[in-house]
A and B are shown apart, each in its own frame.
Chain A
Amino acid sequence: MEQLSYAAGTIVTGVFGCVAWFWGSNLILDWIWPSRGAHAGTNILRANMVRPWLFIGPAILFLAVYLVYPVFDSIWRSLHDAGGRAWVGLDNYRWLAGDAKFRESILNNLLWLLVVPAAATFFGLLAAQVTDRIRWGNIAKSFIFMPMAISFVGAGVIWKFVYDYRGEGQEQIGLLNAIWTAFGHPPETWLTIPFGNNFFLMAVLIWIQTGFAMVILSAALRGIPEETIEAAILDGANPWQLFFRIKVPQIWGTIAVVWTTITITVLKIFDIVFVMTNGQWGTQVLANLMYDWMFRGAPDYGRGSAIALVIMALVTPIMVWNIRNARREMMG
């Protein structure tokens, strides 16, 4: 109860604070340079120079405090020891290069990177194309999109049940083992099977991201001029050729945006691994490794920050490319 009222209070304060800021600051601005009287013209011009800053000011401030400052702080910490006191130069990075768990994480991240965006985009494209053709396509679309509404942690918990293991002879409550044993196999502890378990984790993210890819690609497919498709039909293209040689090439830009957007999500992947295996049995990934060093046991801020910066270095170029691409798409 106390927590509820606390949360409600925060929301009210936040909303009221925003309104008060935008309304109040503009009021003060208009009081300093009123749009009346002898200097109305110059006053309006002056006020209009300042006004945009009133609106984007808070955003810039919060971005600086919660994004820019942490980046510099992380750089600083990554060059210091565990407690953040003694300067150690590049020692943390040298340690990273030799660490087996870090190498495992990099390899796993690479694997995620290769599989998840490709699979999610492919299934999304497939779903978009198929659901466009059928009468109950919109219902199918809603179902495919639904996992997008589930948090990664929630999805991790749900899929942990899917992969759940009960000893032989017991009733299997895990969907996968239930099917597996129905075919006469002994039950498996899926999440501990080396290497293969990575793919069981990836399935969760693919399940979530397919809906996202489908929605965006479906809109792109509908944007293709109908005449080009009709022209291709007259040219004798079969449905397969129509899809791969006429439709897909026309939405390459959108496919690239979807692909890179999912890629960024994948590079930062943390929750699913954290909830389901916590990086054990060869499933460690960078973000979870960083969390381990940063906050678990005896925290090592130096090493944790070094890993964080590696993740940032990997994400940034893809992000830049993605934003550029998305802009180009928007301009047509």
Chain B
Amino acid sequence: MADLSLTGISKAYGDVDILKDINLEIRAGELIVFVGPSGCGKSTLLRMIAGLERISGGDLVIDGQRVNDMPPAQRGIAMVFQSYALYPHMTVRQNMEFALKIAKKSREEIDKAVENAARILQLTPYLDRLPKVLSGGQRQRVAIGRAIVRDPKVYLFDEPLSNLDAALRVATRIEIAQLKEAMPDRTMIYVTHDQVEAMTLASRIVVLADKGIAQVGSPLELYERPENEFVAQFIGSPQMNLLAGEVVTAGPQTTVKLVDGGTAVSHVPTTAADIGLRVNIGVRPEDLVLSTGAGLFTGTVEIVEALGEVTLLYFGEEMGAPHMIAKLPGIHADLRRQRVTLTADPAKVHLFAGGRSLLYR
């Protein structure tokens, strides 16, 4: 049971800023996921919470106590590493009990904790084996077991599934979700670059970009109401289409005349002052539908990817990236080289000006 509070946290190596002014309140029992592109500082932020990196500025408070200068072991945290970081010379049991032995716990207490963790993680038959004879998934479970036996207030996961193969990743992801379920009052912070992990596990997601927080919110909040173009394009796959245009009519509904020639209607409200404003409309590929009449986009389908359950249509290419992607349910293999018009439900059309969503102003 622990609340975490990050106030104005920053990290710099010499003159190079890695993170600037991070403010975040984490409530006890939450599973917070840090996502972001490579090098956005998400692992660094986690390591600062763990105490493996010095905090350059700001305050880190766990349960009302400032812990900036507290040694890692006393912060009541446990961490699961991407590479498992098992002690190769120790058996599974020795790996799990190491922290308790260091803390000089009694033999009975240690045995109880280890056996309990082993039972939860189905590691009991492997307790006396060395890590090198275990499979990747088993090793990761030992790493998680090493955290469980310490019964920490806060669990930190640093890309724990990245070294596993695809099938095992799904299985272990579900195990972590079940683990969280079984420990509703424990706080977990989870770093990943995989948005599926983020969407499925998180109670709230923190999207990090450009040295700071781009948005914090529940997975569906980020999906449905992204605050900025970065989050809009980072969450969801294929990423959201952005089309440039100009506001022509304002009100509870906004009409945008697009540079490509189409017209888009959005439920994002605007005022008369916004008329003439240059905006980008954002519309997710899965929200686009074929239209027989007018639409927001008309173009020739260059590539068709029929995946069975859905079909991806790629339109026009600029600088290697498709100009527009649509994701239609079902099979539409016959649309290649066809000229089609696409439209979208006004409720699903986002508006961005200067990179920021017009919903949040």
Contact = CB atoms under 8 A, between A and B. Distances in A.
Q: Do A and B come from one complex?
A: yes
B72 A233 contact: yes
A230 interface: yes
Task: For the complex of A and B, list the 6 residue pairs with the smallest distance between their C-beta atoms, beginning with the closest.
Answer: A236-B73, A227-B85, A235-B99, A249-B89, A231-B85, A236-B102
A234 B79 contact: yes
Given A231-B81, A232-B98, A234-B51, 12 more contacts: A225-B85, A227-B84, A227-B85, A228-B87, A230-B79, A232-B87, A234-B52, A235-B102, A235-B146, A236-B72, A236-B102, A252-B89
B52 A233 contact: yes
Contacts of A225: 83, 85
Interface in B282-320: none
A129 interface: no
Contacts of A252: 89
Given A236-B73, A249-B89, A250-B89, A230 B52 contact: yes
A interface majority secondary structure: helix
25 contacts: A227-B81, A227-B84, A227-B85, A228-B86, A230-B81, A231-B85, A231-B86, A232-B98, A233-B72, A233-B73, A234-B50, A234-B52, A234-B72, A234-B73, A234-B99, A235-B99, A235-B146, A235-B150, A236-B99, A237-B73, A237-B102, A241-B102, A245-B98, A250-B87, A250-B88
B348 to A, nearest CB: 43
Contacts of B82: 227
A234 B81 CA distance: 11
Nearest to B97: A235
A233 B98 CA distance: 11
Nearest to A236: B73
Interface string A196-237: 000000000000000000000000000001011011111111
B46 to A, nearest CB: 12
A228 B88 contact: yes
B45 interface: no
A232 to B, nearest CB: 7
Contacts of B88: 228, 250
Which of B85, B103, B150: most chain A CB closer than 10 A? B85
Interface in A224-266: 225, 227-228, 230-237, 241, 245-246, 249-250, 252
Contacts of B103: 236
Interface in B64-123: 72-74, 77-79, 81-90, 98-99, 102-103
A233 B81 CA distance: 13
Contacts of A237: 73, 98, 102
Contacts of A245: 98
Nearest to A248: B89
A187 B50 CA distance: 59
A264 B50 CA distance: 47
Contacts of B52: 230, 233-234
Contacts of A236: 72-74, 99, 102-103
Contacts of B150: 235
Interface in B187-203: none
Contacts of B90: 249
A245 to B, nearest CB: 8
Nearest to A233: B72
Contacts of A232: 87, 98
A231 B74 CA distance: 14
A267 to B, nearest CB: 29
A285 B79 CA distance: 55
A232 B79 CA distance: 10
Contacts of B85: 225, 227-228, 230-231
Contact of B83 (A227, A235, A249): A227
A230 B85 CA distance: 8
A114 to B, nearest CB: 26
Contacts of B72: 233-234, 236
Contacts of B98: 232, 235, 237, 245
Contacts of B89: 249-250, 252
Nearest to A238: B102
Contacts of B87: 228, 231-232, 246, 249-250
Contacts of A230: 52, 79, 81, 85
Interface in A68-123: none
B102 A231 contact: no
Contacts of A235: 73, 98-99, 102, 146, 150
A231 B89 CA distance: 14
Nearest to A246: B87
B270 to A, nearest CB: 51
A230 B52 CA distance: 7
B75 to A, nearest CB: 9
A327 to B, nearest CB: 18
Nearest to B83: A227
Which of A228, A232, A236, A246: most chain B CB closer than 10 A? A236
A234 B78 contact: yes
A231 B146 CA distance: 10
Nearest to A230: B52
A228 B94 CA distance: 14
Contacts of B102: 235-237, 241
Contacts of B146: 231, 235
Nearest to B78: A234
A224 to B, nearest CB: 9
